[in-house]
Amino acid sequence: MRSLLKADIGKNIKIFSDGADRTSLLEMNQNPLISGMTTNPSLMNKAGVTDYAPYCKEILTQIKEKPISFEVFADDISEMKRQALEIATWGKNVYVKIPVMNSQGLSTLDLVRELSQKGIKLNITAIFTIEQSWQTCQALKDGAPSILSMFAGRMADSGHDPLPFVHGSKAACDWAGPSVELLWASTREVYNITQAMDSGCHIITAPNDVIKKLSGLEKTPYQLSLDTIRTFKSDSESAGFKL
């Protein structure tokens, strides 16, 4: 794999920010390296959101162009549909995020197919297997623009090599056609962006702490070594260490 360059961002892969804090969302909206945003109920809860719809709608008064995904939080499939139809009305840049199944293990893909055929832009999330990717692409094929979110980072955290999963998911998206974009989710480090790009992913979504590390792109290993040593020196001086 080759090193990631700033010129690759936006050209060879799009970077979305992953978060729900209002200040961070608006900051990322102004960042030219960021092409869109993703959120989820856990991130909303962490951000202290208690009134879901008003919060999202207020965000959309500021984020009007870049795509942003808001997730349904219902567990009942029929209620998921109602929420999805409501969220889809909030803005032309809104993608409705739907988990590939509910907490009881019931597939949501019949609903996904129905919504996609109605022209609703979707982000199908919590995908962890090649089988799920193919089934999702079958549901999305010939429908509205959509995103398939595979949790490669979380898979790696469980001790599994995510790349065979990524490559299999890319084959499914290629089969479905250009309306289905492949997204690398649960990013842990900047190198994941290189992995996602070289695997053919269209998008990678990353938390702000990873995005802020993009300032270190294109530094040589020597420069990284020198920066690290200078940091150690500064910190030891600040601490007043003596022997």
Q: How many CB atoms lie within 10 A of CB 134?
A: 17
Name the residue among 143, 193, 150, 192 with its Cα closest to residue 170: 150
Per DSSP, the three-state class of 142 is coil
| Amino acid at the residue 155 | M
In 92-221, DSSP assigns E strands to 94-99, 122-127, 146-150, 180-184, 203-206
Calpha distance 189→122 (Å, rounded): 26
Catalytic residues: 97
CB-neighbour burial class of residue 243 (10 A; exposed 0-12, middle 13-18, buried 19+): exposed
Q: Which DSSP string do the residues of 108-139 spell out, in sequence order? A: -HHHHHHHHHTT--EEEEEE-SHHHHHHHHHH
Pairwise CA distance, residues 142 & 128, whole Å: 23
Chain centroid to Cα 204, Å, comes to 6
> What are the angstrom distances between the C-alpha of 186 and each of 88, 108, 150, 189, 209?
24, 21, 8, 10, 13
Cα dist from 154 to 109, 172, 184, whole Å: 22, 20, 10
